[in-house]
């Protein structure tokens, strides 16, 4: 994973619903579009594939980290442990795991997520991720393109049967 560039303060303001990157030409994409593009096409698919392989050994289905029910891969979502979606945590693999829609969007599954993180990563990592959220990081288009290439390769590796988990814990 390439290191994110550190510069300005994270932006918390979410603008009102705009056209998705899918419905406009690339040269009109804003930074938000670039981030969504990486999320939709590579990062979220990567996280869900990783957690399917990790929890069931199959790329087709996986366990929600908070309710532990098994769902088909396409019904899982990539849910953040630390809320806020700042640039500093948006694409941090250790902060994002497969969750079902209900746990990610309907229930407040924070206690269960906390318990999972404690078991998989330990308290020190939890503290680090919480602090990390407010770090001054601003993603750039170059970084996003590089990350897109990186996750393309990682997904291919997974689908080719190389279930390599390079980091400790879940990642
Ligand atoms: Zn769930």
What's the CA-to-centroid distance between 78 and ligand 1, angstroms? 11
pLDDT band at 17 (very low <50, low <70, confident <90, very high): low
| Angstrom distance (rounded) from CA 171 to CA 167 | 5
Mean pLDDT, the chain, integer: 89
Residue 150 lies in a domain: no
What's the CA-to-centroid distance between 116 and ligand 1, angstroms? 12
Residue 16 lies in a domain: no
What's the CA-to-centroid distance between 118 and ligand 1, angstroms? 17
What's the CA-to-centroid distance between 128 and ligand 1, angstroms? 25
Residue 139 lies in a domain: yes
Residue 148 lies in a domain: no
What is the residue whose two structure tokens read 């406009």?
A: 24
Neighbours of 73 (CB within 10 A): 18
| Angstrom distance (rounded) from CA 138 to CA 136 | 7
pLDDT of 94 strictly over 50: yes
What's the CA-to-centroid distance between 124 and ligand 1, angstroms? 25
Find the range with the poorest average confidence among 17-31, 69-83, 155-169: 155-169
Residue 160 lies in a domain: no
List the domain range (segments joined by +) for residue 118. 30-143
pLDDT band at 163 (very low <50, low <70, confident <90, very high): low
* Domain count for the chain: 1
Residue 163 lies in a domain: no
Report if pTM > 0.75: yes
What's the CA-to-centroid distance between 106 and ligand 1, angstroms? 10
Residue 23 lies in a domain: no
pLDDT at 160: 87
């Amino acid at each position: 994973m390439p290191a994110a560039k550190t510069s300005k303060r994270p932006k918390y303001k979410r603008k009102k619903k705009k056209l998705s990157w899918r419905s406009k030409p690339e040269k009109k994409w804003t930074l938000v579009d670039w981030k969504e593009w990486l999320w939709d096409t590579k990062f979220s698919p990567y996280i869900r594939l990783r957690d399917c392989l990790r929890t069931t050994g199959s790329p087709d289905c996986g366990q929600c980290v908070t309710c532990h029910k098994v769902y088909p891969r396409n019904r899982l979502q990539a849910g953040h442990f630390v809320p806020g979606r700042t640039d500093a945590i948006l694409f941090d693999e250790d902060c994002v795991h497969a969750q079902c829609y209900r746990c990610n969007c309907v229930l407040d599954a924070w206690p269960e997520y906390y318990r999972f993180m404690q078991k998989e990563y330990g308290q020190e990592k939890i503290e680090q991720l919480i602090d990390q959220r407010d770090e001054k990081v601003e993603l750039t288009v170059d970084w996003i393109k590089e990350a897109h290439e990186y996750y393309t390769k990682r997904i291919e590796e997974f689908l080719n049967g190389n279930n390599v988990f390079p980091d400790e814990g879940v990642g």
